[in-house]
Amino acid sequence: MSDTYRRIERLSGSPWAVVALLVVGLALPLVFPSYQTAIAVLWMMVVFALTWDVLGGQMGYNSFGNIVFFGVGMYVAAVVQRELYFDIGQFESISDKFNVHLTSAQYLTGFGLGTLLGMVICGVLALLLGYGILGLRGHYFAICTLGLGVAAGEIAGGIDYIGAGAGMAPPVFPEALGSRGLFFAYFFLALTVASFVLLRWLYGGRFGLAINAIRDDEDKADSMGIPATRYKSTAWCVSAVFLAAAGAGFGHLNGWIEPAEIAFPGATMGVWMVVMAVLGGKGTLWGPVIGAVVFYVSQQTFWVLLLGWQLVALGLLIVVIVVFFPEGIVGWLRARRPATDKGPSP
Amino acid sequence: MESVLGNLDLLYVAPVLGLQLLVNGLLVGAIFALVAYGLALVWGVTHIINLAQGDFVILGGMLTYTISSQAGIHPLWALPISAVLLYGLGVVIYRLVIRRVVDRDIFVSILATFGISILLTQLMNQIFGADIQRARHDLGTWGFFDNVVTVEQIKLLAAAITAVLALGLVQFLRRSRVGQAMRATAQNPRAARLMGIDTDWVYETTFAVNAAICGAAGALVVMVWSIEPFSGLIFTIRAFMIVVVAGVGNLAGVVAAGLGLGVMENFAGFILGTEFQIGFVFALLVVILLWRNLRLGRKREVLR
């Protein structure tokens, strides 16, 4: 038993694990064509958990406001699509009828540019916010980001340019490009693999050591000469960039954007990020991936049975996980089978 | 933007409108201060920041509304019932959850109270519905300056009740044996334990007393204002902000900051428009935290 686990542990640290992830990801939407949208969202959940864990798990900073970058990325991408090909008056007159059609080349260019711009804007935003807010510690940081997430939704709901509380619609997915679900399943798969590979590389090097040192004792890390603020801002920036891309994709996948439930859903997706990372095992590379898959699959399977009590169950789930199972799935496995000295643990 | 300038102009032309905002702000600010004092009490004694604080308030309001409308009594008589029920809930939550996280790191306790907050919000949404609730109090309004400035009697009464509750709480902490035990535990839990104080019981009582305070405050809120299940978070944020400005264990500061916040919020709501009032509170939180941290940063310290 113990040997098997060690072998799995070693395998999960090797590049083959990423290849396996990629193969599974490529095959999934083809094997289950009717679940393509759900698969796209599954990968998005993995990105959520992975990016939350950068701060929450590896750096020890509880962020309840990461959803801000998701929403900003979503709006930026949608606005770019709109601004590239329409003036506002024309767009508003036709978007009421939900039939904003673009050619596939236009759609892809707009989507690509919008996503990139969203990533850049969110990266810069995270750096700027990071220099201010990441100076706060513990409780203060957590509550400040909690406020940030809600404030973003409230403010977006007051801006007429992006449709205010009523929302706006990105262009319709062109039929020439084939299945929308498949397109976005592969988009989010690419995003998952990219974030996973980047984070694996970052955690394996100086960056990972630095943010772990910040988690363990920031004052000591600081006095050892680690530029804590710079590392913290960079870490948040990495999270923000991937969340922005996820937001851009989700806005286009959903085909409809509004502030409270889609762009800045602090009470649902904002909470899921935390739950998934903690469930899988915070502070590990594979924990968030496993947590996201377990959470999302069970959510899709069982949640219908809860008949509207889903969000109550979510609150209960957080309390139960945090109080009784704080080490998460991966942490629990690791505690049962202590790590060996052969190679680094992932 | 024009509307903002227009509103400022209006205030300049008719300063008596400002008086109205000031009065309303002070009267609701008193309730904010009470909730904040409860938060500071738990924070000081157990070192937990209760993110479910605002949800306790809303739950208190929901219970008051339900009891008074079902039993046909005045909501004021439902206030003590709500406080007692919340005390019980506080005990239950402490025994089930808080006791297991009280001596762990803040990461765990903040996530746990965050989970409780979501749980309570959604439970209220399921049980009481998402509608806005407002208890009927049948009290009139006094008008001054040709009815330009109005003072709702219920707001005045609520502020008076708040003051009585706060003074009672202070005397309880100062004079009673339990209050002394709480203060001793806040100063040094280990020494308190050595002196024979059952600190676990003290934590439990502190948490439950705080819940009862929130229950009473919620009863007042549902009378003077209106509540809905999702407005708990903003009460938590307000209370937290007040304590950050005033400091834990500084009653005069908490009162001043609470009243100040009430006034600022009313003015911001008038000048920016009520749709930005909530956004203003959150933005103010961020500004206050950064400002505090910047000031401490000059001394090479951080908020912790």
Q: Which residues in chain A are contacts of B106 at CB distance < 8 A?
A: 138-139
- Asked if B264 reaches chain A (Cβ–Cβ under 8 Å), the answer is no
Q: Across the interface, do A311 and B293 touch by the CB < 8 Å criterion?
A: no
> Do the bridges between strand B149-152 and strand B141-144 make them parallel or antiparallel, or are there none, so unpaired?
antiparallel
pTM over 0.95: no
pLDDT (0 to 100) of residue A1: 47
The amino acid that residue B146 corresponds to is D
**Closest residue by Cα to residue B115 from A311, A290, A96, A152:** A311
**Closest residue by Cα to residue A330 from A297, A294, A300:** A294
Nearest to B112 among A142, A267, A323 (CB): A323
Give the residue from chain B lying closest to A61, CA to CA.
Answer: B107
* Residue B141 distance to chain A (closest CA, Å): 32
Q: Which two tokens stand for residue B168?
A: 């009672």
Interface of B with A in 28-47 (CB under 8 A): none
Q: Across the interface, do B108 and A139 touch by the CB < 8 Å criterion?
A: no
pLDDT (0 to 100) of residue A343: 46
- Asked if A220 reaches chain B (Cβ–Cβ under 8 Å), the answer is no
pLDDT (0 to 100) of residue A5: 61
| ipTM field | 0.79
Any residues with CB less than 8 A from the CB of B289 and at least 6 apart, and which?
A: A133, A136, A140, A144, B244, B303
Q: Which residues in chain A are contacts of B122 at CB distance < 8 A?
A: 309, 311-312, 314-315
Strands (E) across A127-172 are located at none
**Closest residue by Cα to residue A250 from A122, A49, A74:** A74
The H or E element containing residue B149 is strand B149-152
Interface of A with B in 74-133 (CB under 8 A): 132-133
Other CB atoms within a 10 A radius of the CB of residue A43 amount to 28
pLDDT tens over chain A, length 346 residues: 456 666 666 666 677 777 888 888 888 888 888 888 889 999 999 999 999 999 988 888 888 889 999 999 999 998 888 877 766 556 555 555 455 667 777 888 888 899 999 999 999 999 988 887 877 877 788 888 888 888 888 888 877 777 777 778 777 787 777 788 888 999 999 999 999 999 989 998 899 999 999 888 888 888 888 888 889 999 999 999 999 999 999 988 888 888 888 888 877 788 888 889 988 888 888 889 999 999 888 888 777 777 778 778 888 888 888 888 888 888 888 777 665 544 444 4
- Asked if A150 reaches chain B (Cβ–Cβ under 8 Å), the answer is yes
Q: How far apart, in whole angstroms, are the C-alpha atoms of residue B261 and residue B281?
A: 9
- Asked if B282 reaches chain A (Cβ–Cβ under 8 Å), the answer is yes
Q: Across the interface, do A146 and B237 touch by the CB < 8 Å criterion?
A: yes
Phi, psi (degrees; rounded to nearest 5) at B152: -75, 130
Q: Across the interface, do A314 and B123 touch by the CB < 8 Å criterion?
A: no
Nearest to B119 among A136, A147, A312 (CB): A312
- Asked if B51 reaches chain A (Cβ–Cβ under 8 Å), the answer is yes
Over the Cα atoms of chain A, what is R_g? 20
- Asked if B102 reaches chain A (Cβ–Cβ under 8 Å), the answer is no
Give the residue from chain B lying closest to A144, CA to CA.
Answer: B286
| DSSP 8-state assignment for residue A136 | S
> Using DSSP, how many helices (H) and how many strands (E) does chain A show?
15, 0
pLDDT tens for residues A28-87?
Answer: 888 888 888 889 999 999 999 999 999 988 888 888 889 999 999 999 998 888 877 766
Q: Which residues in chain A are contacts of B286 at CB distance < 8 A?
A: 133, 144, 147-148, 151
Q: Which two tokens stand for residue B239?
A: 């209370």
Phi, psi (degrees; rounded to nearest 5) at A132: -85, -65
**Closest residue by Cα to residue A251 from A30, A97, A82, A94:** A82
- Asked if A33 reaches chain B (Cβ–Cβ under 8 Å), the answer is no
* pLDDT less than 70: residues of chain B: 1-2, 300, 302-304
User: Whats the size of chain A, residue-wise?
Assistant: 346
- Asked if B123 reaches chain A (Cβ–Cβ under 8 Å), the answer is yes
- Asked if A158 reaches chain B (Cβ–Cβ under 8 Å), the answer is yes
Best mutation target among B4, B104, B111, B245 (most A Cβ atoms within 10 Å) is: B111
3-state secondary structure of B222: helix
Q: How far apart, in whole angstroms, are the C-alpha atoms of residue B50 and residue B37?
A: 12
Q: Across the interface, do A315 and B126 touch by the CB < 8 Å criterion?
A: no
Q: How far apart, in whole angstroms, are the C-alpha atoms of residue A14 and residue A344?
A: 10
Q: Across the interface, do A315 and B121 touch by the CB < 8 Å criterion?
A: yes
